Amino acid sequence: MNTYVFERKILRKIFGPTYKNGSWRIKTNEELDKLIKHENIINFARAQRLGWYGHIERMRDTRMVKAIHAWKPISKRPMGRPKILWEDYVKKRYTEVKSAKFEDPCPGERKMEGSGWEGQNSALRVVEPY
């Protein structure tokens, strides 16, 4: 089942039917779009993933999560098609959204040395819908 179809099915259960002119009917896609303000689960998941990546990039190098993210295995990979890594997926989505060079999305903001980072703007926190 397509993810969008499944999402609509769940939304119809959450918001329920509409009572109009003495009869009940299910909500249309347009009515559901108005209720959820034209957002969907796919864009939400992508935005959360990009936000998490930006959070990791701003961490100090001494944090365990940052060390695990930067860790590269020593052993060989198994035969066959290489697996798609989480970081590769995030890079692909970031370049689609911003159409910019990925290596330095937030110059001067990549490291969180101490405090004061809350007020800064981050290109990874703001994700436009696809």
Question: What is the distance between the alpha carbons of residues 31 and 36, in angstroms, rounded to a whole number?
Answer: 9
pTM over 0.85: no
Distance of CA 18 to CAs 32, 39, 58, 128, Å?
A: 11, 21, 47, 31
More confident residue, 42 or 51: 51
Count CB neighbours of 43 within 10 A. 14
According to the model, what pLDDT value does residue 122 have?
46
Q: What is the pLDDT of residues 31-41, one digit of tens each?
A: 998 988 888 88
Question: What is the distance between the alpha carbons of residues 109 and 102, in angstroms, rounded to a whole number?
Answer: 14
Residue 70 has pLDDT above 50, yes or no: yes
Domain residue extents for the chain: 3-35, 40-130
Question: What is the distance between the alpha carbons of residues 34 and 49, in angstroms, rounded to a whole number?
Answer: 25
Residue 5 has pLDDT above 60, yes or no: yes
Q: What is the pLDDT of residues 74-130, one digit of tens each?
A: 887 778 887 778 888 888 887 777 664 445 545 554 444 444 444 444 444 444 555
* φ and ψ at residue 31, rounded to 5 degrees: -65, -40
41-58 and 3-15 are packed helices; what angle lies between their axes, rounded to 10 degrees? 110
User: Which two tokens mark 23?
Assistant: 């009869």
Residue 20 C-alpha from the chain's centroid: 37
